[in-house]
Amino acid sequence: MELKNPLYKNIGIHVIITLFTVEKGITKVLLVRRTNEPFKGSWSLPSGAMYNNELIKDGALRELKEKTGIELEDLTPFRTFDSLDRSPVQRMIGIGYMGIIDSKRVEILKNTNKTSNADWFKLDEIPELAYDHNDILNHAILKLKERIIDTDILKTFFPNGFTLPELQNVYESILDIEIDRRNFRKKMLPLIIDTHKEINYLGKKKAKLYKFDKRKKDTSIF
């Protein structure tokens, strides 16, 4: 490596976090509104440039905390984004990370040093985002679709239990498909446990509350 070679200069790394949650059966993603240029005033995924004294994942966890106040112990890398024109400032390699949380268990900072708002957005109501974040979000959704086939990811979405209509809504919203209610129930019942509790779902009549059976191995229902 020839350090004097100008082709080695002016290149950095962005860490971009796609954080999903489920609210009343609707899958949402966390966005923040930028206060700095470039793209001042635009919504974006929580993101920022890495420091040269940290590991990439640590940088992603730090940026998530700085931009939203959310502290996590882990995130999953899912793709590298290396278009030459990702940033108008300088060449920046993007490393995409994704995570899944229960939104009821975290409090989001609405204002930080570099953001003026933060909120959960439905996947079909995403605005035009800064940088290439719409493309990054689309790739994260594809990865989520791959992982949703495995019931393990749903345990993170529903730590406090779920109704079957709520669970089916999550599958349908992420996979963008319609699922027969009776077939869905038939496939899910061997994997879940009746808590013998009932809750109101979307203001309708009460529905049974279930939890995943921890004794069952993660399996595909499709």
What is the distance between the alpha carbons of residues 88 and 166, in angstroms, rounded to a whole number?
Answer: 42
Summarised one tens digit per residue, pLDDT across range 207-217 is 999 998 888 76
pLDDT cut 70: percent of the chain above it: 95
Q: Strand 91-100 relative to strand 76-81: parallel, antiparallel, unpaired? A: antiparallel
Mean pLDDT, the chain, integer = 91
What is the distance between the alpha carbons of residues 51 and 59, in angstroms, rounded to a whole number?
Answer: 7
What is the distance between the alpha carbons of residues 204 and 159, in angstroms, rounded to a whole number?
Answer: 22
pLDDT at 28 over 80: yes
pLDDT at 98 over 90: yes
Helix or strand run (H / E) with residue 13: strand 11-23
Candidate CATH numbers 3.90.79.10, 3.40.718.10, 1.10.3720.10, 1.20.1050.140; the one for domain 6-148: 3.90.79.10
Phi, psi of 147 (to 5 degrees): -80, -25
**Region 6-34 average pLDDT:** 93
| CATH of the domain spanning 152-212 | 1.10.10.10
Summarised one tens digit per residue, pLDDT across range 50-90 is 999 999 999 999 999 999 999 999 999 999 999 999 999 99
pLDDT at 4 over 90: no
What is the distance between the alpha carbons of residues 21 and 24, in angstroms, rounded to a whole number?
Answer: 10
Got the DSSP string for 188-217? Answer: HGGGEEEEEEEEESTTSSEEEEEEE-TTSP
**Region 5-11 average pLDDT:** 89
Summarised one tens digit per residue, pLDDT across range 139-159 is 999 999 988 876 677 877 787
Residues in contact with 44: Cβ distance below 8 Å, sequence separation at least 6, in sequence order: 31, 32, 33, 34, 129, 130, 131, 133
Domain ranges of the chain: 6-148, 152-212
What is the distance between the alpha carbons of residues 40 and 159, in angstroms, rounded to a whole number?
Answer: 36
Comparing CA positions, the residue from 76, 47, 199 lying closest to residue 146 is 76
**Region 120-125 average pLDDT:** 94
What is the distance between the alpha carbons of residues 48 and 64, in angstroms, rounded to a whole number?
Answer: 9
Helix pair 181-188, 164-175: axis angle to 10 deg? 110
Give the model's confidence band at 222: pLDDT under 50 very low, under 70 low, under 90 confident, else very high: low
**Amino acid 154: pLDDT:** 80
**Region 172-185 average pLDDT:** 90
pLDDT cut 90: percent of the chain above it: 66
Q: Strand 47-49 relative to strand 206-212: parallel, antiparallel, unpaired? A: unpaired
**Amino acid 158: pLDDT:** 82
